[in-house]
Amino acid sequence: MIANEAFLKYRGLKKEDLIGRLISDVVDPAIFEKTAKGKLDECFRGKIVRFEMRYEYPSMGQRDVFVSSFPIEGQGGVDRVASVLKDITEQKEAERSLRLFRTLIDQSNDAVEVVDPETLRFLDVNEKACKDLGYTREELLTMTVFDINREIDESVRNRVSEVLQRVGFVVREGIHWRKDGSTFPVETSLKLVQLERKYVITVSRDITERKEAEKALRESEDRYRDLVENSQDLVCTHDLKGNLLSVNPDMRLKSS
């Protein structure tokens, strides 16, 4: 076994420490048997193989590496294998974090969309947004905010954009259109995010139940007001001290 300077540096070894030694002397034997041995056997049979494995560096601890192994022909066939180890630890950690983030976003009870602030095109959406609107993710990624909120025109867009630039966030109510043409009321929070470029993150909540409750309360208050105003009895409200707060017309008439 021989290795380049980078390998020797990470392992804290000298070249003479490696020559003649087995790979399993350098790599954890259990990891070698489970991950690398079978792949390298294929390589000695003339195949180029690529695989991932965990590797223990004395100075850095365990790292994720991507291994590319190439057979080298000798006079009697393949007699050596060259392997390139690429450290992908940060990449794997980023992928794990992205999967976790994606899982959390997709399990959200609210619809979440990432929007291009210039074109208002959807750049990403979670599963709740797809379910609420009746579109697939692929369909929504070809659409813009104008397609699901037809109340928005250029004047509304400009007002919202101005507040976003000045304050960084906006909360507003609106109506969203589903794929089947039906509508539902939403409360949407918009936040301007600056990464390598600007994005708008929108979180939309279906407020149908809240609107229905508000409507029922208004109707109840209207019925109560009608009953009081048209009652032939004297009706009044007062506080705990007995101060009159309101009286119906019949009571006002009889007291005058």
For every one of its 256 residues, what pLDDT tens digit does the chain have, with 9 covering 90 and above? 555 666 666 566 666 666 666 666 666 666 667 667 788 788 888 888 888 888 776 666 788 888 888 888 887 788 788 878 788 888 888 778 767 777 878 888 899 999 999 999 999 999 999 999 999 999 999 999 999 998 888 888 899 999 999 999 999 999 999 999 999 999 999 999 888 889 999 999 999 988 888 888 887 777 766 666 666 666 677 777 878 767 766 544 455 5
Query: 0.75 cut: is pTM over it?
Result: no
**Cβ-based neighbours of 173, under 8 Å, separated by 6 or more:** 185, 186, 187, 188, 207
Give Cα 40 to chain centroid, integer Å: 39
- Residues 80 and 141 grouped into a single domain: no
Whether residue 246 sits in one domain with residue 201: no
**Cα–Cα dist 20/40, whole Å:** 17
Any domain includes 97:
no
32 inside domain = yes
Based on the fold, state whether residues 118 and 186 are members of the same structural domain: yes
Asked whether residue 202 is domain-assigned, the answer is yes
The terminus-to-terminus CA distance of the chain in angstroms comes to 112
CATH number at residue 86: 3.30.450.20
* Number of residues assigned to the chain: 256
Q: Are residues 114 and 202 in the same domain?
A: yes
Q: Are residues 149 and 215 in the same domain?
A: no
Tell the burial category of 90 from Cβ atoms under 10 Å away from its Cβ (0-12, 13-18, 19+).
exposed
Both 199 and 130 in a single domain? Answer: yes
- 181 shares its domain with 221: no
Q: Tell me the residue range of the domain where 229 lies.
A: 210-255
- Token pair 């004297």 is found at 234
Q: Is residue 44 part of a domain?
A: yes
Residue at 215 is within a domain: yes
- Report how many domains make up the chain: 3
92, 118, 141 — which closes off a domain?
92
